[in-house]
A = this chain, B = another copy of it.
Amino acid sequence: MGKTRLEAFSDGVIAIIITIMVLELKVPYHATVEALTPLLPVFLSYVLSFIYVGIYWNNHHHMLHACHKVSGAILWANLHLLFWLSLVPFATAWMGENHYESLPVALYGAVLFMAGIAYVILQALIIRSQGHDSVLKQAVGSDWKGKASAVCYLIAVFAAFYSSWLPQVLYVLVATMWLIPDRRIEHVLKTAKEEA
């Protein structure tokens, strides 16, 4: 079974998720600066989530590049990841519209945490399908980024009830960590090619 449709479907769902988020930027009735300012937190949370979904698309892209056989389990692990990503627009809007109050900020972190777990499951299934000398396994290594992200999300979820800035700092930190080009997979794939 080919992976073309899996990629196409995932691209479609992620493209829709990243785009419908903007629908939560409700068009104000008046043409004044005052009408626009309440949208600022919604806009900022949109920017953050746009970057997060962009990171997921980017990494998903790399990961599937290294995957050759698509099993039923991989299909469902992929849908599981898309499910949690589909909740990002809701969490983003709730957080932005309530000006970063505790509960929405915690829920936002929880959705990111679950998406992270779903990503790790999908990654593990692809690695298992590749057998002993998995290229993806080598590329991911100890996956410290994935683990650090999960820990940061968890801290953010709990910190949301005590601090108004710590969770945001953590969310921005994790995003920045992933934005720094992740050449692990690219690199190992290249090396594997050159060795062959």
Interface status of A196 (Cβ within 8 A of chain B) = no
CB-defined contacts of A5 to chain B, threshold 8 Å: 7, 11, 61
From A18, A89, A181, name the one whose CB has the most chain B CB atoms within 10 angstroms.
A18
Distance between Cα atoms of A36 and B87 in the complex (Å): 14
Q: A138-196: which residues lie under 8 A (CB-CB) from chain B?
A: 179, 181-183, 186
CB atoms of B20 and A20 under 8 A apart: yes
Distance between Cα atoms of A181 and B1 in the complex (Å): 14
Residue in B2, B36, B179 whose beta carbon sits within 8 Å of that of A103 in the complex = B36
CB atoms of B23 and A20 under 8 A apart: yes
Of the four ranges (under 10, 10 to 19, 20 to 34, 35 or more), the interface on chain A belongs to 35 or more
0/1 interface trace, chain A 19-35, chain B, CB 8 Å (1 if under): 11011110111111100
CB atoms of B90 and A181 under 8 A apart: no
Task: Please list 9 pairs of residues, one from A and one from B, whose beta carbons are closer than 8 Å in the complex, sorted by A's number.
Answer: A2-B65, A12-B12, A18-B82, A25-B90, A31-B94, A47-B83, A50-B86, A54-B79, A72-B183
Contacts from A to B (Cβ < 8 Å): 1-2, 5, 7-9, 11-20, 22-25, 27-33, 36, 47, 50, 54, 57-58, 61-62, 65, 72-73, 75-76, 79, 82-83, 86-87, 89-90, 93-94, 97-98, 101-104, 107, 179, 181-183, 186
